[in-house]
Amino acid sequence: MNIQVVLDAKVKEAAHSLFGVTLPTVEFQPTRKDFEGDITVVIFPMLRYLKGNPEQLGKQLGDYLHNELEEVVGFNVIKGFLNLVIRDSFYLDFFNGIKNTSDYGFISAAAKDAVLVEYSSPNTNKPLHLGHIRNNLLGYSVARILKASGKKVYKTQIVNDRGIHICKSMLAWQKFGHGETPESTGLKGDKLVGNYYVAFDQAYKTEIAKMMAEGIAREVAEKEAPLLLEAQEMLQKWEAGEPQVVALWKKMNGWVYKGFEITYKNLGVDFDKLYYESDTYLLGKDVVADGLSKGVFYKKEDGSVWIDLTDEGLDEKIVLRSDGTAVYMTQDIGTAIQRVRDYPDIGGMVYTVGNEQDYHFKVLFLILKKLGYSWSENLYHLSYGMVDLPSGKMKSREGTVVDADDLMEEMTQTAATISRELGKLEDYSEPEKWELYKMIGLGALKYYILKVDPKKRILFNPEESVDFQGNTGPFIQYTYARIQSILRKAEELGLNGLENKVHLEAIHSLDPKEKELIKQLQLFPETIQLAAQNYSPALIANYTYDLVKEFNSFYQQVSILGETEEEKKKLRVQLSKKVGEVIQSAFELLGIEVPERM
């Protein structure tokens, strides 16, 4: 059991026994390195309930805990902090009790209360870019963390495969493509279609400039440029089901999907179910009609349907246009309801979407609540900040985005350059080297993005992310590989009984570095639950970095394989093994692989 759980109950018992007071909570923190102790009880928050000098209160609580708990072998009070020294046997018993480290900290999924996690949700008029990478990595990692915390999880996306943007790419290919295909050009389908989205924008701007030169105002030119009018006409034909337009739409979208599949595979993410906007954009109209009859929505004189959210601090929001056509909000209402019909065990949904859509999701969740859906209480917008590069902001239609495939390739090349400079791969074959470079490069990219709190904006620096020192993916991967090297050498030395429990009487006491490492291992299950509650892979990433720092300190200051006492050597090899397995488990939650050798 976690010592904090034991102490929490006992401190509350002490407060009641000594002072007749019920404490609602007890605050703990790790004891600072410059003081003796393992865990600290913070006295200051108790002063709202307990009267007296913080140091005196701390001493009284310390005496009580020392007398009542065999785990507490000593204490000291520094101002308002009660530092407790915990018996070595408690930590060793905990360590011996970790049965299977590969699923240590993970909870089996409950039969009910499933969660649906939506991420990626790209447009089919361009390839995935750096912004999509953050979206995918966040959503996929959160899905894994929620599953590890005990939830049943469904991973999904809604593919934005319709609308004027799609028609722009289609029209440009029709006009300028000369029948080009992914096969004839050697380009991935999503890149080919994306090129025509850029081509449309360039031709459109040329038309606007020409019209302005003829004396037409910019606002008029932007609305009446022939190319834009043609794209709008194509959209109308698509909505009317015009066979030739629908056939072109299916063909070009098919190219894009094949391209997306390659990117997702390389990035290491997947989905349980795909939804398509072309199937869902009409969903919600019946729900709106039902809500209108119940007074949730109201109709204006022009026939448009709205909801008034001003009492909730928001504004009025349209849900049906005057001509009866759906808006995005209508579609999202219908899609949410459809998902619960598809997966009746869903108790909540997580939408991984950039923070520019914060307002949209506040409105969506509130509408679903007003419509009476109980699961609307468990909807969460995993809002994240933009990813910037040193060169500045990206723009899709101008072709200045950082392509996801190109970035992953660049990361692999950067990892290759740095690894060659370190020169430790002499016995690797060339294919093995490139497999490792890819693992390091992708690990660097994923870790750099996931270690940052989702809400924060990121300035992504590829070279900085591949550094083998500091809070980076490669630094952690290197430590894991170092641990595997220790285990291989231990096997070569023929160390026996490595799976057996270590007994305190055989080693007399734990080295402070051993104790610190076990304490860090003890935090992993709690960290998984916190990361799930906060939808934050950053908590897992930074926990792993702390664990690795603690291991490297242990590695540098105590002898592992050089230890002469067999029982101590056994403990240190076991400890190394379990740390390696927790690193691997933590990185699996982030979607990152770890190498056996580096």
DSSP secondary structure, 37-97, as one string: -SEEEE-GGGGGT--S-HHHHHHHHHHHHHHH-TTEEEEEEETTEEEEEEPHHHHHHHHHT
Residue 451 in contact with residue 542, Cβ under 8 Å? yes
Q: Reduced to 3 states, what is the DSSP secondary structure of residue 141?
A: helix
Find how far residue 367's CA is from the centre of its chain: 27
Running DSSP on this structure, what letter comes out for residue 391? T
For 462-488, what is the mean pLDDT?
Answer: 93
- pLDDT at position 397 is 46
Superfamily of domain 3-86 in the CATH hierarchy = Arginyl tRNA synthetase N-terminal domain (3.30.1360.70)
Report pLDDT for 506. 83
Q: For 77-87, what is each residue's pLDDT tens digit?
A: 999 999 999 99
pLDDT at 9: 96
Report the C-alpha gap between 197 and 217 in whole angstroms.
25
- The pLDDT tens digits for 65-117 are 999 999 999 999 999 999 999 999 999 999 998 877 677 889 887 767 799 99
Longest Cα separation, the chain: 94
pLDDT at residue 464, as a whole number? 86
pLDDT at 45: 95
**What would the pLDDT profile of 252-270 be if each residue is shown by its tens digit?**
999 999 999 999 999 999 9
Residue 292 has pLDDT above 80, yes or no: yes
Three-state secondary structure call for residue 230: helix
Average pLDDT over every residue of 490-514 = 86
Domain boundaries, the chain: 3-86, 163-253, 285-325, 422-589
Among 50-54, 355-359, 480-484, which stretch is predicted with the lowest mean pLDDT? 50-54
* pLDDT at 594 > cutoff 80: yes
- What sign has the CA pseudo-torsion 57, 58, 63, 66? positive
Tell me: the pLDDT tens digits for 422-459? 777 778 889 999 999 999 999 999 999 999 999 999 98
Q: Which of 492, 488, 479 is nearest to 598 (CA)?
A: 479
Residues 204, 168: Cα–Cα separation, whole Å: 10
**SS3 (DSSP) at 224:** helix
Give the sheet arrangement for strand 28-30, strand by strand: 28-30, 39-42, 81-86, 72-78
In this prediction, residue 221 has a pLDDT band, given cuts at 50, 70 and 90, of very high
Top CATH class, 422-589: mainly alpha
Average per-residue pLDDT in the chain? 93
Q: What is the pTM of this model?
A: 0.92
Instruction: Assign 271 to helix, strand or coil.
Output: coil
DSSP bridge pairs for 41:
28, 82
Count of alpha carbons within 13 Å of 100, Cβ hemisphere only? 4
Tell me the average pLDDT across 565-582.
94
pLDDT at 394: 44
